[in-house]
DNA sequence: TTTAAAAATTGATATATGTCAGTCTTTTGG
DNA sequence: CCAAAAGACTGACATATATCAATTTTTAAA
């Protein structure tokens, strides 16, 4: 992207693709030296785009890589013994997925594209090796995993303590924050997932999700056109969930 | 402990405390060389016992250490904006807590002893440094964190999809498995946490927990005397939750 | 573009679990 | 050892959300 080149990095001698990737500010450890970025770049494989519905990895597959989302969205899920799908997360650009596979060398969930999606594949053994030579990278990895633990625990709070309204509002605000971080609008975005997937993720029936969204719209809190969402009254919404989503709260202290 | 000394390690030249700790098989990376164990040992501080109700660290405190439980039990929890406590985990001997603090350098939860408890404090900066010199240790750390992510996601499935019976049964079987791993009885143990704490953790009212436990007892599935629990019909209980708790299932493939 | 299939919405009803209240039991501190 | 407080249990009732069913809208395929 010429835009990407016309920034502060324009004068860099780097030739790496990571360097030129519009996501690098988010996905690269901030303080990696130029040379380190090049080394990281060399272990990354850019895979061809996934179409909607394509599987990136399957529950039970041997764990080899973690993936950074470049464009699009994925969901991770397990198939429970009773055969139902349980969604455990949604992944947007710049986010890393697959970390849960490290423990047993097997992915404990499947990952599926919700729309056309591109990812960078990062073979974990290489990443781990490289992290031996680059302490900052190692620390970043610890941080990313720690944040995931923190986020998942917030999700536990949501599932255990919140009512349907709070659950849906939390998801919308969470997505909003993630879009914002990537430089997109915090108040107007497109949901890549269906109402059914939202319900599955939040522990609600589809019908309940639908009703909550309708109610929010009648309240004038949001405006909805299919998958397009505009948050009209961000304040009210934040109040609704008691905003200070704990992990987030701490961030702002 | 003389018992500990009378095992295969008796002939070791190691003098470290970790080496002699009855938990070492669980808490030490299995394949650390003797010398590495000694180095690990040197960074660990053994703290004086916590009494029931004592706080190990507080939500918002600066993150400095992770802790390995030696004896006793702790819970981690956050105080939500509305002032309620939400328990995010219980920690038994050999388990590591505090990892969620790495990300923001602040503990996002508090940790409190449920009974008299001893822990080893492991300053994280030292551990991280040491992990640079001992790749196996680094890998173990990644694994521990990955497992935590995996476990938390299972918890999300539990909270989102399971009914009260399944939730309580899942917790009992989960505790059972953890006791078993440490060499204790898998079918007879003492709950360190109150019914209220169980309910809080599982997203249920105390009364519901009480009723479920009573029902299980009437079914002859368990026998209860206050906090003492005996699982009578493990099979039935495993069937109840559809056993193959996913992460566990994969382990057994 | 037309048609079939999938997803979303809405209403009526059922139900699991929460809430409230009272009692009994266990734990704890003096 | 006793008294007070905390925890646990049980029943009656309330309610949020699930389930079922029917309709409308959107998406995907031919």
pLDDT of res. A244: 44
Q: Model's pTM, two decimal places?
A: 0.87
**Secondary structure (3-state) at A209:** helix
Distances A125 to A64, A66, A121 between C-alpha atoms, Å: 7, 10, 12
H-type helices in chain A, by residue range? 2-5, 17-20, 24-27, 34-43, 124-133, 135-161, 164-181, 195-202, 206-218, 234-240, 247-252
| Touching A: B residues 132-191, CB under 8 Å | 132, 135, 138-139, 141-150, 152-153, 155-157, 159-161
Mean pLDDT of A11-28: 57
Show pLDDT as tens, one digit a residue, over chain B (253 residues).
333 333 333 334 445 666 666 556 555 655 566 677 777 777 777 777 899 999 999 999 999 999 988 889 999 999 887 788 999 999 998 889 999 999 999 999 999 999 999 898 989 998 898 888 888 888 888 999 999 999 999 999 999 999 999 999 999 999 999 999 888 999 999 999 999 999 999 999 999 999 999 999 999 999 999 999 999 999 999 999 986 443 333 332 2
Residue of B79, B83, B88 best to disrupt the A interface, most CBs of A under 10 A: B88
Identify the residues numbered 182 to 211 in chain B whose C-beta atom is closer than 7 Å to any atom of strand C.
203-205, 207-208
- The model's pLDDT over A212-251, given as tens digits with 9 standing for 90+, comes to 999 999 999 999 999 999 999 999 999 999 864 433 333 3
Exposure string for A199-208, b = 16+ CB within 10 A, e = fewer? bbbbbbeeeb
User: What span, in angstroms and rounded, lies between the C-alpha atoms of A142 and B101?
Assistant: 10
- The model's pLDDT over A81-119, given as tens digits with 9 standing for 90+, comes to 778 899 999 999 888 999 999 999 999 999 999 999 999
User: What span, in angstroms and rounded, lies between the C-alpha atoms of B222 and B216?
Assistant: 6
Q: How confident is the model at residue A253 (pLDDT cuts 50, 70, 90)?
A: very low
List the beta bridge partners of residue A69: A119
Please, are residues A108 and A59 in contact by the beta-carbon 8 Å criterion?
yes
Residue with tokens 């219980």: B90
pLDDT of res. A106: 97
Contact B148 A149 (CB under 8 A): yes
Q: Which residues contact A125 (CB under 8 A, 6 or more apart)?
A: A64
Chain C footprint bases within 7 A of protein beta carbons: 7-12, 16-21, 26-28
| Chain A residue closest in CA terms to B202 | A160
Residue of B90, B102, B162 best to disrupt the A interface, most CBs of A under 10 A: B102
pLDDT of res. A4: 35
**Secondary structure (3-state) at A131:** helix
Half-sphere exposure of A15 (CA within 13 A, CB side): 1
Q: How confident is the model at residue A39 (pLDDT cuts 50, 70, 90)?
A: confident
Task: Find the helix or strand (DSSP H, E) in which B159 lies.
Answer: helix B135-161
**Secondary structure (3-state) at B50:** strand
């Amino acid at each position: 992207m010429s835009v990407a080149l016309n920034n502060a990095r324009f004068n860099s001698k780097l030739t790496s693709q990571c360097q030129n990737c519009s996501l690098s500010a988010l996905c690269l450890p901030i303080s990696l030296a130029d040379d380190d970025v090049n080394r990281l770049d060399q272990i990354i494989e850019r895979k061809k785009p996934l179409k909607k519905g394509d599987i990136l990895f399957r529950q039970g597959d041997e764990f080899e890589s973690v993936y950074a989302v470049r464009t699009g969205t994925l969901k991770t899920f397990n198939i429970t013994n009773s055969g139902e799908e349980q969604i455990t997360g949604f992944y947007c650009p710049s986010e890393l997925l697959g970390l849960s596979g490290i423990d047993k060398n097997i992915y404990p969930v499947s990952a599926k594209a919700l729309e056309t999606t591109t990812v960078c594949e990062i073979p974990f053994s290489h990443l781990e090796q490289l992290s031996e030579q680059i302490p900052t990278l190692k620390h970043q990895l610890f941080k990313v995993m720690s944040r995931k633990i923190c986020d998942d625990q917030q999700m536990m709070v949501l599932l255990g303590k919140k009512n349907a309204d709070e659950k849906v509002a939390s998801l919308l605000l969470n997505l909003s924050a993630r879009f914002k971080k990537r430089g997109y609008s915090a108040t107007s975005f497109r949901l890549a997932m269906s109402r059914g997937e939202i319900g599955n993720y939040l522990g609600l029936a589809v019908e309940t999700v639908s009703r909550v969204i309708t109610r929010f719209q009648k309240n004038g809190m949001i405006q909805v056109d299919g998958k397009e969402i505009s948050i009209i009254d961000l304040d009210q919404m934040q109040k609704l969930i008691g905003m200070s989503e704990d992990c987030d709260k701490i961030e702002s202290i």
